[in-house]
Structure 1
Amino acid sequence: MGPLDAFWHLANFLAPALFVGATAAAVAKLVWRRELAAVGWTRLALWAAAAGAAVLVGGLIGFGRDGKMATYGLMVAACALALWWSGFVRRR
């Protein structure tokens, strides 16, 4: 496998976490417009995507393969928890 193939494998592995994190942050900013007015979308999206990526890596290590539905379910829960923490608990 060449470097370009390795890049695409890694990008495709992390794509669900990035997409779910960005989408969840946008929806959270729309639903809780007043409560999250002081919190930037970028901060919410980065925390949610990082939590999702961590769960994907954990699922790969724990299950021995990628693409398990349990991993994706945990990724959604981790994104929600990260959005709650970065948007409501960790205010400055």
Structure 2
Amino acid sequence: MGLLALLNHAVNFAAPAFWLALLLPWLDRFLTGKKASALSRPRQFGLIFLAGLVVLALGLVLLGQDGKMLTYLALVLTAATGQWFMRRG
């Protein structure tokens, strides 16, 4: 596997966590109409993205294959729980 193919796989592996982390803080503020958290949006993005990458990596290691629906369910639950905890701060 070449460097470009490896980079392509890494970007596509992290894409679900990236988009979820990017959209979740914005949607939270949009839907509730008030300040979502004591943390800034970039910090919320970073925390959710990091947690999402950990969940995706654990799903790959434990299930032996990337892209399992159980992994994506765990990703969404982890991101939503993290956003909920940040909102309580």
- Shorter-chain TM-score bucket reads 0.7 to 0.9
CA contact (8 A) 2:29 2:36 kept: yes
2:23 counterpart of 1:18: no
> 4+ runs of 1 displaced by more than 3 Å?
none
| RMSD, matched Cα | 1.6
Q: Gapped runs of 5+ residues in structure 2?
A: none
SS of 2:34 mapped into structure 1 = coil
Structure 2 distance, partners of 1:69, 1:77, is: 12
Identity fraction in percent: 30
Given the superposition, is the C-alpha separation of residues 37 and 72 from structure 1 closer, same or farther in structure 2, using an over 3 Å criterion? closer
Q: TM-score, normalised by structure 1?
A: 0.84
Structure 1 distance, partners of 2:71, 2:64, is: 11
CA contact (8 A) 1:43 1:86 kept: no
Q: TM-score, normalised by structure 2?
A: 0.87
Q: Gapped runs of 5+ residues in structure 1?
A: none
SS of 1:36 mapped into structure 2 = coil
* Number of equivalent positions: 89
